[in-house]
Amino acid sequence: MSFINYSAREINCKIVYYGPGLCGKTTNLQFIYNRTNPEVKGKMISLATETERTLFFDFLPLALGEIRGFKTRFHLYTVPGQVFYDASRKLILKGVDGVVFVADSQVERMEANMESLDNLRVNLAEQGYDLDKIPFVMQYNKRDVPNAAPLDELRKLLNPTDSIPDFEACATKGTGVFETLKSSAKMILKDLRSMSR
Amino acid sequence: MMNNSLVMYDEDYRKLLAIIQRLVQDATAKGVFLVDTNGQMVADAGEMEGIDTTSLASLTAGNIAASSGLAKIIGEEEFPTHFHQGQRDNLFITLVANRIILVVVFDERSSLGLVRLRVKKAGVQVAQIFEEIRKKAEQEQASGGGSPFSEITDDDIDNLFSE
Ligand SMILES: Nc1nc2c(ncn2[C@@H]2O[C@H](COP(=O)(O)OP(=O)(O)OP(=O)(O)O)[C@@H](O)[C@H]2O)c(=O)[nH]1
Ligand SMILES: [Mg+2]
């Protein structure tokens, strides 16, 4: 649910980073926050536990520039990945314009990836969204770990029909982080265009 | 489709601004904010300079979302009003027409009773404007067009990411 404000000549869109616990959602936002100019970003808010697990959400507002005289702003949110925070995840998905799924490349996290992806589909459907119809991007994170599953395998499980853009990433170093974000932002803007035609 | 944008034109914005500016005065408030339930700041009024309105909007929406989740768990429809009492400043938060959140910041120059009373009236007016906005959006949709985004090209989008 984007917000187009003719008075302020602004458009606001919401991107949600989804994925299993510890897959690196918060790390994505932290890297984006650390690497953008102060005039582009707002404050990053993290509602987290003492052990730095996301408790409710992380929030990072970004101003990407202007399109035809309209400032385009993206509000990035992460959900808490731990299974028992499902009620909170549902709340964060409200009004989403695009989803980035952050998968954990570690072999032993494959089941958690699949479970989280199913959970995303169900929670979106509950709000009337179809995962196959909204702007959706896949990120295979933690490509640097020694026990990373081969890319083919991840694809087969998480993007079997090769229908969505996907990116390899190492969020701690920042590899693939901006590529993922840009891809999602572009899909959202194109989606807005097609809806207004 | 669920994905309808909230589209606000200048005249609606001005009306909303007038309502919350009046509310600042009538309730002797420090600041009044209108926040979309999805976390976008819609309008603000008052004397609260330097406040991070973007963060305020996102946290307010999170707060309301969490408490309406709680309401459902115990079998309530909604907790439509919230009051947070601080050392100096207090927050009065109201959900209007299930769509928009009215936030009032006030201190000892005002009182909860006064704020509650004034918010009631302003809330009705805000609800009316949002009803108009909704109707306009429906008409727009029926006539198909008007969005600044129907005209943008792939180049426009790519240029946004060119630096
Ligand atoms: N090796 C490696 N570690 C990573 C990478 N990305 C994130 N991490 C680490 O994984 C841990 C968890 O990262 P977070 O970003 O907090 O994970 P999260 O997805 O936000 O987790 P929840 O908030 O519980 O849902 C941290 O210790 C990160 O440093 C990566 O690409 N490679
Ligand atoms: Mg996190």
* ipTM, interface predicted TM-score of the complex: 0.84
Distances (CA, A) of B109 to B89, B112, B115, B128, B150: 10, 10, 11, 29, 49
* Number of helices (H), then strands (E), in chain A: 5, 8
Query: Beta strand pairing status for A10-18 and A70-78?
Result: parallel
pTM score of the predicted model: 0.92
Cβ separation A91–B157 shorter than 8 A: no
In terms of residues, how long is chain A? Answer: 197
Please give the single-letter amino acid code of residue B46: G
Cβ separation A196–B149 shorter than 8 A: yes
CB A54 near ligand 1, within 6 Å:
yes
- CA B160 to CA A182: how far, in whole Å? 9
Which ligand 1 atom is nearest residue A141's CA?
31
CB A53 near ligand 1, within 6 Å:
yes
Give the tens place of pLDDT for each residue, B115-132.
999 999 999 999 999 999
CB B40 within 8 A of CB A3: yes
Give the tens place of pLDDT for each residue, B27-54.
999 999 999 998 999 999 998 888 999 9
Residue B70 touches chain A, beta carbons under 8 Å: no
CB A171 near ligand 1, within 6 Å:
yes
CB-nearest to B160 from A1, A64, A128 is: A64
CB A27 within 8 A of CB A19: no
Q: Which domains does chain A have, with CATH numbers?
A: 3-188 (3.40.50.300)
Task: Determine the pLDDT at residue B3.
Answer: 45
Q: Which ranges of A70-168 does DSSP label H, i.e. alpha helix?
A: 86-93, 110-126, 151-158
CB B118 within 8 A of CB B26: yes
Average pLDDT over residues B98-118: 96
CB-nearest to B5 from A2, A56, A134 is: A2
Tokens of residue A94, six digits: 């409200």
Q: Shortest Cα distance from B21 to chain A (angstroms)? A: 17
pLDDT band at B146 (very low <50, low <70, confident <90, very high): low
* Burial of A141 per CB tally in 10 Å (0-12, 13-18, 19+): buried
CB-nearest to B65 from A94, A182, A185 is: A94
Task: Determine the pLDDT at residue A194.
Answer: 83
**More confident of the two residues B152 and A165:** A165
Please give the single-letter amino acid code of residue A38: P
Residue A35 touches chain B, beta carbons under 8 Å: no
pLDDT band at B144 (very low <50, low <70, confident <90, very high): low
Q: Which domains does chain B have, with CATH numbers?
A: 10-161 (3.30.450.30)
pLDDT band at B1 (very low <50, low <70, confident <90, very high): very low
Q: Is the pLDDT of residue A184 over 90?
A: yes
Mutual orientation of helices A86-93 and A110-126 as an angle, nearest 10°? 50
